[in-house]
Chains A and B, each alone.
Chain A
């Protein structure tokens, strides 16, 4: 029933690149390897995920959720751990909630946007998901997007999760 959907990949790719590269360090490595500085230009306020991304995640089935979560926070560090939780649908909202090692992760999908909450030892943070690469294939979610708070980038999220497995 489900079909792969890739939202705004082409349109948003240029805007997303800095965020993703920052989160993954890809450009840093490449830039440094080239012997130059990976200096970015002035940053613009990240564009937050909205209705389309919410609708897409709304197609995920309910049930247990498994996968991996990589959350990178600027100036803080990185959580990279298997994710175990569940996908919950309630009315027109969807919630992915579970644990990744010591961290509790929750993605709230509301009609007007997505919010990721991290509650880990020594770190609690709530951030909005920005536009990015959102794929839903069957019960599998592949999400690579930035994290923002009050209009500034604070990190990135890379989730590979199966719902209803």
Chain B
């Protein structure tokens, strides 16, 4: 016996690594599983040999020298008999009757011995095994020392994996039809076979597997030992080949060794199935707690993707790609990821697992992030919007969590809504946030589809708690006392010329108000700016504004202002209008002078004539601002376009009146 085992070990050492890829075990989760099974059986005093192969990935693992140590095959070798006979039949060398086929089916399904005895003696005994050894390259398999005892054929767990793999891929020489017939019989293995229950090992150890094609072996009490072997294919696609061979002193009884071999399989796969995960995805899953973790049981085999791989689990997915590594995605974030076409969409592969945040969570992807919080749900943020979001301290900043994913807008623009505002982006403007009252005002003007277009700045803090957002079509100012209002076009230019909110006008108190004849108005804390196509943008403020209002603003006899205030030496400060002018005298009164109604065509010197009209009667203005004593001639008064002055009207400026309404 010693010499025989020595020969076996030498043969094993020479042949093992040459046959199967990955023959040398390495420390990984699959190997850990194999050792767990081996250690379980070993702890019970049972000698066990374990080998397994994932036919999809080619990963092979075994429990070291035990897997290459010969052991009596018992009924496992009946699959050799079936293979040999079917191949000879396929080659036309023998004829197998219906009875033969039925016997062979019973030999495989029920492990019936009588057919095996008959076939063995009728078709060559050891010649059967030798044929299989030769065709399948079974370097560790040996013939029985006594040809009448086929169960003493010597096999190894490793060689049985080789046999099953080559049976499946056809490289052993058996036709696909005959192979399928054998595997089908193995899949119909009965619970109770020849002399005992034959669901120990694979079936009992993998109760959650729906498809097991097995060939079992058991015998007692050969040379004082009892044997239980379990081998075959696991999975509906026969993906996994698992071979577990065991032996122990027969005095312990059948129940003991059956618990050893079934327990070994359970120790390997406490999930009750072979998880369809491997490699880094598998290791990631194990690190997350395996079936006890958040992801739970696998629901798919590994799925190859264009640039990576995916495994699905009850509670989420794990993605892998060479550039991103392995990361899990689950829950609402996974749903949002799915809505954006998984890795095929703009987000690409995940680059992080879910990251817990105060009040929410985050998963990072190649093309952006997905945030989740109970109040907001899960939404993606990507591209320039993500950068802007980050510049505002992500969810910890004023924007908080996103409340929408990225929304496509006109001109290749986009938008993300957040708890504290929006971020708009467009190729022409970049990404900028808008929030608070400014956002409301922006919305009132139809967002980016309105006259303001896309924002060109994020919120800019101003004095006294004010703020500003710039847009393609203007600005929106906001302050606690004035609210948020837009200013645009020439009025904005005029506002800027007066140092914006820092100038005498202060913050706007209205947005642009459309007026007659295409004109417009913005009100400010310190006055109004009027604009019309014919008159440009002009500022009116103080007592003059009051007087102007008393005369019904631009709808009154004065029309639109045609100049900003200017000093008239000796007279005061004058503002020209389309049909007259208002002068704030040094005495603080506002004098109105109206052009006479037109009676004749205008002449080129009309403006001079109008400006030389007699001074009006003095009327105190309702303000305390002292007016200048003299009204010098203007130096830069705009040219009048209306009819020449033929008369004047003088009015006293009343108190402030409401301005025009939009």
Contact = CB atoms under 8 A, between A and B. Distances in A.
B149 interface: yes
B449 to A, nearest CB: 74
B316 interface: no
Contacts of A11: none
B213 to A, nearest CB: 15
Interface residues of B, number: 51
Contact of A75 (B75, B115, B148, B192): B75
B193 A26 contact: no
Contact of A38 (B112, B121, B145): B112
A124 B223 CA distance: 5
B307 interface: no
A77 B114 contact: no
B253 interface: yes
Given A73-B219, A149-B250, A31 B106 contact: yes
Interface stretch (A39-47, A105-113, A132-140): A39-47
Contact of B112 (A25, A35, A124): A25
Interface stretch (B97-105, B130-138, B493-501): B97-105
Contact of B196 (A38, A78, A123, A153): A153
Contacts of A122: 144-146, 149, 152
Contact of A43 (B146, B150, B192, B250): B192
A10 interface: no
Nearest to B100: A32
A152 B196 contact: yes
Interface string A90-134: 000000000001100000000000000000111111110000000
Nearest to A74: B195
A1 interface: no
Given A32-B103, A77-B152, A121-B145, A38 B110 contact: yes
Mostly, the A contact residues are mixed
Contacts of B641: none
B105 A76 contact: no
Contact of A33 (B102, B149, B151, B224): B102
Interface string B243-265: 00000001101100000000000
Interface in B169-214: 188, 190-197
Nearest to B251: A150
A41 B149 CA distance: 27
Contact of B219 (A43, A120, A154): A154
A39 B146 contact: no
A148 to B, nearest CB: 9
Contacts of A19: 195
A151 B105 CA distance: 28
Contacts of A102: 146
Nearest to A126: B221
B313 interface: no
Nearest to B75: A75
Given A75-B75, A126-B221, A37 B188 contact: yes
A155 to B, nearest CB: 8
B120 interface: yes
B105 A32 contact: yes
A24 interface: yes
Contacts of A66: none
Contacts of A40: 110, 192-193
Nearest to B191: A39
Given A28-B106, A72-B117, A77-B152, A120 B146 contact: yes
Given A37-B110, A73-B219, A75-B74, A42 B192 contact: yes
Which of A19, A29, A122 neighbours the largest number of chain B CB atoms within 10 Å of its CB?
Answer: A122
B634 to A, nearest CB: 116
Given A33-B99, A75-B217, A24 B74 contact: no
Contacts of B107: 28
B192 A28 contact: no
B113 interface: yes
A152 B253 contact: yes
A72 B227 CA distance: 17
Contact of B74 (A76, A80, A124): A76
B284 interface: no
Given A75-B227, A120-B146, A151 B253 contact: yes
B197 A43 contact: yes
Given A75-B74, A77-B151, A152-B220, A43 B196 contact: yes
A160 to B, nearest CB: 18
Contacts of A25: 103, 112-115, 117-118
A126 B220 CA distance: 10
A37 B120 CA distance: 21
A76 B99 contact: no
B19 interface: no
A29 B118 CA distance: 11
Contact of A41 (B111, B115, B192): B192
Contacts of B152: 76-77, 122-123
B188 A76 contact: no
Given A24-B114, A151-B253, A74 B218 contact: yes
B192 A150 contact: no
B222 interface: yes
B254 A42 contact: no
A28 B195 contact: no
A39 B148 CA distance: 26
B109 interface: yes
Contacts of B151: 73, 75-77
10 contacts: A32-B106, A39-B109, A43-B195, A75-B75, A120-B149, A123-B149, A126-B221, A149-B250, A150-B251, A154-B221
Given A22-B114, A29-B106, A76-B222, 6 more contacts: A22-B113, A74-B195, A75-B194, A78-B113, A79-B148, A126-B221
Interface of B: 74-75, 99, 102-103, 105-107, 109-118, 120-121, 144-146, 148-152, 188, 190-197, 217-224, 226-227, 250-251, 253-254
